[in-house]
Chains A and B, each alone.
Chain A
Amino acid sequence: MLRTRSPRAEPPTTEASRRAGGAVELRGVGHDFGDLRALDGVDLSVPAGEVLGMVGPSGCGKSTLLEIVAGLRASSRGTVSIGLPRAAGARLPACALMPQRDLLLPWLSALDNAALAPRLAGLSRAEARARAHPVFERMGLAGFERARPGELSGGMRQRVAFLRTLMADKPVLLLDEPFASLDAITRAEMQTWLAGVLAGDRHTVLLVTHDVEEALYLSDRVAVMTPRPGRIAETLGVPAPRAGDRAAAVSSREFALLREHALRVLAGEER
């Protein structure tokens, strides 16, 4: 059903990971919904290639913040800029957003869902599939190319959704609670899996989650947000992000202390 546009002069590279991510700068970003102040004075500086976790209570404006960074929503106050290696570009072409729900298109096969972005960029169905397929297999989805999203498990759907985001070939990935809908065991598996993917990757990543452990395990730094109006309460450095052995990493004493600290900041005890 997709109408193809004429291909770009320079087609996107298959491996976005080879390309350096763009630095993301937020200055005094605030947002109101009518009289409701959702976000206030958010300053954030994410260097290129960093994975920044963002945790906060529900309703603190995390998703809104991601939409603002993605350029899907204009902020009420403040500025967002994304410095690309070559040129400063508009935000929408620089960011790929992975929404909380997988939002796979039910009428497309798993592979076609993953290959959506190259297809939208003007490639033929066969070319788009050929481009997505190697990564599709590497993500442990081999054999499910033709399956419809309705036939996939929750973890597989999230992987397809993540691959779809990756295939957009954007320097900045915005992940909005990517594993919130999964059960605890699958979520732990997916965190290990994502850690592996991000380890060999140079994307700048903003990872929004309400799970402190997930943020601390996957990110280089974790920004803890306050309840509405959301602002950054504190930014914590993570000593050993994305360790190979997740179980050992999250049960280490250092990790536990960091988690306790983050939870105290979340609860507003140290502000």
Chain B
Amino acid sequence: MLAPAALVAALLLAWELAARWDVLADLLSVKDYLIPAPSQIAEALWEERELLAEDAWVTLREVLLGFALAAIAGMGLAVAMHLSEPVRRALYPLLVASQTVPIVVLAPVLVVWFGFGIVPKLLIIALICFFPIAVNAYDGLRSVDPELVKMMRTLGADRRQILRGAELPWSLPYFFSGAKVAIAVAVIGAVFGEWAGADSGLGHLILVSSGELSTSLTFAAIFVLSLIAIALFGLLSLVERRVVNWREDPAR
């Protein structure tokens, strides 16, 4: 914990010097409106805190709803593919194909279809998050020890009980691995969605503020955005530790 903190502090100090100390700034041709100093970003964070909080809430809501949508759909698809070979053969290639469509290209189309509201953002986020969740959960369901299933069968379990009593709990750690990847990229999806057409949100703020050359506000928005991503990732790890509490060697 100490080493990365020291590294970040050193980098911030170097950055501050490069931007603020005129001699060095001139030498490196660093301009305020190109790269604001960390202290200027902090100033923007404080002065624009209400605007940032408002936009952060918009983006956070998009991310949470889009992620929830992806988690439900991803888990549902994983179970469907696990239970039915024809479903798996029909859907797995489509699942992979869905990831080859560049989101950047898809975003404006979704805005044309669904307008400037929250729907296209949710769809974009869900589309990005869906893949790691579905693939990981499906692998988890498939990786269940076949001996375990045999044991359950001799104890009188039917297909549904095997799924609920053995396969789903078994696949939970896999699901969480996928979900953690998903939540980290969900924020990127929200920004894409807002760039394609929005009137609020941190992505929108980044676009507008950089257009106005208020770069310190842009950086402040980026800072809040990554803070959201880190917080959500941490939260999910916490939930994982509470839910998957049987692992003998939890990653601490």
- Listed in ascending order, the chain B residues whose CB lies under 8 Å from chain A are 145, 147-148, 150-158, 160-161, 164-166, 168-169, 245-248
Query: Do most interface residues of chain B lie in helix, strand or loop, or is the interface mixed?
Result: helix
In contact, A93 and B156 (Cβ under 8 angstroms): yes
Q: Which residue of A lies closest to B154 (CB)?
A: A97
Contact across chains for A99 and B151 when beta carbons are under 8 A apart: yes
Nearest Cβ on chain B to A108's Cβ, whole angstroms: 8
Closest to A107 in B: B246
Within 8 A of B (CB), among A142-158: 148, 150
Interchain CB contact under 8 A, A92 and B151: no
Residue of B nearest to A97 (CB): B154
Q: A72-B150, A99-B147, A101-B147 are in contact. Are A120 and B164 (CB under 8 A)?
A: no
Q: Indicate if the CB atoms of A103 and B148 lie closer than 8 Å.
A: yes
A110 interface hit (Cβ, 8 Å): no
Q: B169 touching A67 by the CB < 8 A rule?
A: no
Complex Cα distance, B148 from A40, in Å, reads 27
Please name the residue on chain A nearest to B167 by beta carbon. Answer: A1
> Quick check: is A117 within 8 A (CB to CB) of the other chain?
yes
| Contact assessment for A150 and B169 in the assembled complex, using a CB-CB cutoff below 8 Å | no
Which chain A residues have a beta carbon within 8 Å of chain B's beta carbons?
A: 1-3, 5, 67, 70, 72, 92-93, 95-97, 99, 101, 103, 105-107, 116-117, 120-121, 148, 150, 164, 168, 170, 174
Let me know if B151 and A150 touch, CB within 8 A. Answer: no
CB distance from B59 to the nearest CB of A (A): 34
Not counting A72-B153, A105-B165, A168-B156, a sample of 13 additional A-B residue pairs whose C-beta atoms are within 8 angstroms of each other reads: A2-B165, A3-B160, A3-B165, A5-B158, A5-B161, A97-B151, A101-B147, A106-B246, A116-B165, A120-B152, A120-B157, A121-B156, A164-B155
Q: A103-B145, A107-B246, A150-B248 are in contact. Are A96 and B154 (CB under 8 A)?
A: yes
Q: Check A103–B151 contact: CB distance below 8 A.
A: yes
Taking CB atoms, residues of chain A closer than 8 Å to B151 are 97, 99, 103
* C-alpha gap A2/B157 in the complex (Å): 10
Q: In the docked arrangement, what's the CA distance between A3 and B238, Å?
A: 27
Cβ contacts under 8 Å, B169 to chain A? 1, 105, 107
Q: Given A103-B145, A105-B169, A148-B246, decide whether A95 and B161 contact each other with a Cβ distance below 8 A.
A: no
Residues of B within 8 A of A103 (CB): 145, 147-148, 151
Task: Given the known inter-chain contacts A105-B166, A107-B169, A150-B246, please indicate yes or no for A3 contacting B161, CB distance below 8 A.
Answer: yes
A92 to B152, CA, bound (A): 11
CB neighbours of A2 from chain B (8 A)? 161, 164-165
Shortest C-beta distance, A150 to chain B (Å), equals 4
Q: Cβ of A70 and Cβ of B154 under 8 Å apart?
A: yes
Contacts A106-B246, A150-B246; is A168 near B168 (CB within 8 Å)? no
In the bound complex, CA of A48 to CA of B164 (Å): 35
Residues of A within 8 A of B166 (CB): 105
The reply to whether B154 and A120 contact each other, CB–CB distance below 8 Å, is no
State which of A106, A117, A174 has its C-beta within 8 Å of the C-beta of B156: A117
Contacting pair A96 B164 (CB below 8 A) = no
Asked whether, in the complex, the Cβ of B145 is within 8 Å of the Cβ of A96, the reply is: no
How many angstroms from the CA of A238 to the CA of B151 in the assembled complex? 30
Residues of A within 8 Å of B161, CB to CB, are 2-3, 5, 120
In the complex, A93 Cα to B164 Cα: how many Å? 21
B156, A1: Cβ atoms closer than 8 Å: no
